[in-house]
Chains A and B, each alone.
Chain A
Amino acid sequence: MAFAAELEGVGHRYGKTVALDGVTLRVPAGCMAGLIGPDGVGKSTLLGLISGVRKVQSGKVVALGADMSDRAARAGMQPRIAYMPQGLGRNLYPTLTVRENLDFFGRLFGQKAGERDQRIHMLLDATGLAPFPDRPAGKLSGGMKQKLSLCCSLIHDPDLLILDEPTTGVDPLSRRQFWDLIDSIRERMPDMSVIVATAYMDEAERFDWLAAMDGGKVIAEGAPKELMERAGARTLDDAFIALLPEAERAEHKPVELRPRVPSADKAPAIEAHNLTMRFGDFTAVDDVSFEIPEGEIFGFLGSNGCGKSTTMKMLTGLLTPTEGTTKLFGEPLGRSDMQARLRIGYMSQSFSLYSELSVRQNLDLHAKLYGVPRADRAGRVAASLTDYELDTVADQMPDDLPLGIRQRLQLAVATIHEPRILILDEPTSGVDPVARDGFWRKLISLSRDKGVTIFISTHFMNEAARCDRISLMHAGKVLAVGTPAELTEKRGAKTLEEAFIAYLEDEIAADPAPEGVLRVEKAPAPSAPRAALTRLWAYATRETMELLRDPIRLFFALLGPVILMITVGFGISFDVNRLSFAVEDQDQTAESRRLAEQFSAIRQFGTQDPLSGTQDMMQRMGRGDLAIALEIPDGFGKALRQGKVPEVSVWLDGSLPFRAETSRAYALGVMNHFADLTAQEQGGAAASQVDIETRFLFNQAFRSANAMVPSVIMLILFLIPAIMAAIGVVREVETGTIANFRSTPVTRLEFLLGKQLPYLVISVVNFVVLFVLGLLIFQVPFTGSFWTLAGLSVIYVAATTGFGLLISTFTKTQVAAVFATAVLSILPTVNFSGLIVPVSSLQPASRMIGFGFPGSWYQQVTQGTFVKGFGWSDLGLNALVLTGFALAYLALAVLALRKQEA
Chain B
Amino acid sequence: MQRILNTLRLTAKELRAIARDVVMLVLIAYVFTVSTYMVADAISTEVDHLAVAVIDEDQSILSARLTDSIQPPLFKSPDMIAADQALQAQKDGKYILVVDFPPDMERDLKAGRSVTINIDVDATAVAHAGNGAAFMSQMLGQEITRYFSPSAVDGSQIDVVFRSFYNPNLTSKWFTSVMQLMNSITILTLILAGASLIREREHGTIEHVLVMPVRPPEIVVSKILANGLVILIAAVFSLIVVVEWLLAVPVSGSVLLFVLGTALYVIALASLGLLLATFTKNMGQYGLLVIPVIVVMILLSGGITPLESMPGFLQVAIRILSPAPHFVAFAQSVLYRGSGIGLVWPEMATMAAMAVFTFSVTLMRFRKVLSG
Query: Which residue on B lies nearest to A849, using beta carbons?
Result: B38
Find B124's partner among A557, A560, A698 (CB 8 Å cutoff): A698
Q: Taking the complex as formed, is B39 at the interface, i.e. its CB lies under 8 A from any CB of chain A?
A: yes
Interface string of A663-674 (1 = CB under 8 A from B): 011111101101
Q: Mark A569-590, 1 if CB is under 8 A from B, else 0.
A: 0111111111110000000000
Q: In this assembly, does A846 line the interface, its C-beta being within 8 Å of a C-beta of chain B?
A: yes
Residues of A within 8 A of B290 (CB): 818, 822
- Tell me the smallest distance from the CB of B328 to a CB of chain A, in Å: 10
CB distance from A761 to the nearest CB of B (A): 16
**Cβ-based interface call for B337 (8 A):** yes
Nearest Cβ distance between residue A191 and chain B, in whole angstroms? Answer: 43
Interface positions, chain A 141-184, Cβ under 8 Å from B, are none
Contacts of B171 in A (CB 8 A): 657
Docked complex Cα distance between A861 and B231 (Å): 37
- Distance A622 CA – B165 CA, assembled complex (angstroms): 9
**18 more CB-based (< 8 A) A-B contacts, given A624-B333, A645-B157:** A319-B371, A352-B207, A556-B285, A577-B308, A621-B337, A650-B160, A650-B163, A654-B164, A655-B167, A655-B336, A658-B127, A660-B170, A695-B120, A702-B126, A820-B23, A826-B295, A837-B44, A842-B42
The 30 listed contacts between A and B (C-beta, < 8 Å) are A318-B211, A356-B13, A356-B16, A370-B213, A563-B296, A568-B295, A570-B311, A571-B310, A573-B309, A574-B126, A624-B329, A649-B160, A653-B166, A654-B164, A657-B170, A660-B167, A661-B46, A697-B87, A707-B123, A819-B191, A822-B187, A826-B187, A831-B43, A838-B124, A841-B48, A841-B125, A843-B42, A849-B38, A867-B124, A868-B91
A526 interface residue (CB < 8 Å to B) = no
Residues of B within 8 A of A818 (CB): 191, 195, 283-284, 286-287, 290
Residues 349-384 of chain A, each 1 if its beta carbon lies under 8 Å from chain B, else 0: 011111111000100011011110000000000000
* A823 and B292 in contact, given A568-B299, A694-B137, A867-B124 (Cβ under 8 angstroms): no
Q: Considering the chains assembled together, what is the distance between the CA atoms of A571 and B313 in angstroms?
A: 10
Chain B binding surface SS class: helix
CB neighbours (8 Å) of A819 from chain B are: 23-24, 27, 191-192, 195
Query: Is B314 engaged at the interface, CB distance under 8 Å to the other chain?
Result: yes
Q: Which of B49, B161, B209, B337 has a CB less than 8 Å from the CB of A649? A: B161
Known interface pairs A696-B121, A697-B122. Does A653 touch B165 (Cβ–Cβ under 8 Å)? yes
Judging by beta carbons under 8 Å apart, are B123 and A348 in contact?
Answer: no
Task: Report Cα–Cα, A354/B196, bound state, in Å.
Answer: 12
Residues B120 and A654 in contact, CB atoms below 8 Å apart: no
Q: How far is the CA of A346 from the CA of B306 in the complex (A)?
A: 55
A720 within 8 A of B: yes
Q: A570-B314, A690-B109 are in contact. Are A357 and B13 (CB under 8 A)?
A: yes
Cα–Cα distance between A351 and B204 once the two chains are bound (Å)? 8
* Cβ-based interface call for A507 (8 A): no
Q: How far is the CA of A832 from the CA of B332 in the complex (A)?
A: 23
Q: Which chain A residues lie closer than 8 Å to B24 at the CB level?
A: 816, 819
Decide if A193 is an interface residue (CB 8 Å cutoff). no
Query: A820: which B residues are within 8 A, CB to CB?
Result: 23, 27
10 A-B pairs closest in CB distance: A654-B167, A846-B42, A699-B123, A654-B164, A814-B283, A665-B134, A556-B288, A696-B123, A818-B287, A658-B45
Question: B287 to A838, Cβ gap below 8 A?
Answer: no
User: Is A723 engaged at the interface, CB distance under 8 Å to the other chain?
Assistant: yes
Is residue A424 contacting chain B, with contact meaning CB distance below 8 A? no
- Determine which of A564, A660, A827 lies in contact with B35 in the assembled complex, contact meaning CB atoms within 8 Å: A827
- Which residues of B have CB within 8 Å of A350? 204
A816 touches B205 (CB 8 A): no
A556 contacts B289, C-beta separation under 8 Å:
yes
Does the CB pair A815–B31 fall under 8 Å? Answer: no
Contact residues in B for A318 (Cβ distance below 8 Å): 207, 210-211, 371
Q: Is A793 an interface residue (CB 8 A)?
A: no
B65 within 8 Å of A (CB atoms): no
- Which A residues lie within 8 Å of B280 (CB)? 552
Query: Is B51 an interface residue, CB under 8 A from the partner?
Result: yes
B159 close to A645 (CB less than 8 A)? yes
B295, chain A: closest CB distance, angstroms: 6
The minimal Cβ–Cβ distance linking B212 to chain A, given in whole angstroms, is 5
State in angstroms the CA–CA spacing of A621 and B332 once bound together: 12
Interface residues on B, range: 35 or more
A572-620, CB < 8 A from B: 572-580, 618
Is the C-beta of B352 less than 8 angstroms from some C-beta in chain A?
A: no
Identity of the chain A residue whose Cβ is nearest the Cβ of B149 in the assembled complex: A686
A686: chain B residues at CB < 8 Å are 109, 144-145, 148-149
Partner of A687, one of B133, B144, B283, B299: B144
Task: Check B166–A675 contact: CB distance below 8 A.
Answer: no
Q: Give, as a whole number of angstroms, the nearest-CB distance from B298 to chain A.
A: 7
Q: Mark B307-344, 1 if CB is under 8 A from A, else 0.
A: 01111001000100000000001001100110100010
Give Cα A734 to B118, complex, Å. 63
Expressed in whole angstroms, the Cα–Cα distance for A849 and B39 within the complex equals: 11
- Say whether B96 faces chain A, with CB atoms less than 8 Å apart: yes
Q: How far is the CA of A269 from the CA of B140 in the complex (A)?
A: 94
Whether A41 sits at the interface, judged by CB under 8 Å, is no
**CA distance in complex: A92, B286 (Å):** 23
Given A356-B20, A692-B140, are A841 and B50 also a contact pair (CB < 8 Å)?
yes
A662 at the interface (CB under 8 A from B): yes
CB distance from A700 to the nearest CB of B (A): 7
Interface pair A708/B126, CB less than 8 Å apart? yes
Q: Looking across the interface, which residue of chain B has its beta carbon closest to that of A651? A: B163
Give Cα distance in the complex from A678 to B191, angstroms.
60
Residues of B within 8 A of A624 (CB): 329, 332-333, 337
Q: Is the CB of B211 within 8 A of A354?
A: no
* Contact status A823-B205, CB under 8 Å: no
Q: How far is the CB of B341 from chain A (nearest CB, A)?
A: 13
Number of residues on chain A facing chain B (CB within 8 A): 152
Q: Which B1-27 residues have a C-beta within 8 angstroms of A?
A: 2, 5-6, 9-10, 13, 16-17, 20-21, 23-24, 27
CB-CB under 8 A from B371, the residues of chain A are 313, 318-320
Contact A645 to B156, CB < 8 A, known contacts A827-B35, A874-B91: yes
How many angstroms from the CA of A849 to the CA of B38 in the assembled complex?
10
Given A346-B211, A352-B208, A715-B295, residue A702 in contact with residue B16 (CB < 8 A): no
Q: Which of B111-138 contact A (CB under 8 A)?
A: 112-131, 133-135, 137-138
Closest chain B CB from A666 CB (angstroms): 7
Within 8 A of B (CB), among A686-721: 686-687, 689-700, 702, 704, 706-708, 710, 715, 719-720
> In the assembled complex, which residues on chain A have CB atoms less than 8 Å from the CB atom of B309?
573-577, 704
Identify which of B134, B209, B300, B309 gathers the most chain A CB atoms within 10 Å of its CB.
B309
Cβ-closest chain A residue relative to B50: A841
Q: At the interface, yes or no: A226 with Cβ under 8 Å from chain B?
A: no
Docked-complex contact B199 and A695, CB < 8 angstroms:
no
Mark the stretch among A62-70, A215-223, A486-494, A724-732 that contacts chain B: A724-732
Q: Which residues on the B side are within 8 Å of A654 (C-beta)?
A: 164-168, 170, 336
B117 touching A702 by the CB < 8 A rule? no
In the complex, are the beta carbons of B91 and A553 less than 8 A apart? no
**Cβ–Cβ contact B16 & A361, under 8 A:** yes
Among residues of A, the one whose C-beta sits closest to the C-beta of B199 is: A815
- Min C-beta distance of A43 to chain B, whole Å: 25
The reply to whether B310 and A647 contact each other, CB–CB distance below 8 Å, is: no
Q: Are A564 and B208 in contact (CB under 8 A)?
A: no
Q: Which of A317, A564, A649, A666 contacts B295 (CB 8 A)?
A: A564
- Chain B contacts of A316 at CB under 8 A? 211
Residue from B46, B164, B204 with most neighbouring chain A CB atoms (10 Å): B164
- Known: A553-B288, A577-B308, A652-B164. Is A840-B51 also a contact (CB below 8 A)? yes
Which listed segment binds B: A334-342, A448-456, A881-889? Answer: A334-342
Give B205-229 interface residues, CB cut-off 8 Å to A.
205, 207-215
Report if A830 contacts B (CB, 8 A). yes
Check: B158 CB closer than 8 A to any chain A CB: yes
Report chain A residues within 8 Å CB of B161: 647-650
In angstroms, Cα B167 to Cα A357, docked, is 49
| Residues of chain A contacted by B158 (CB below 8 angstroms) | 640, 645-648, 671, 674-675
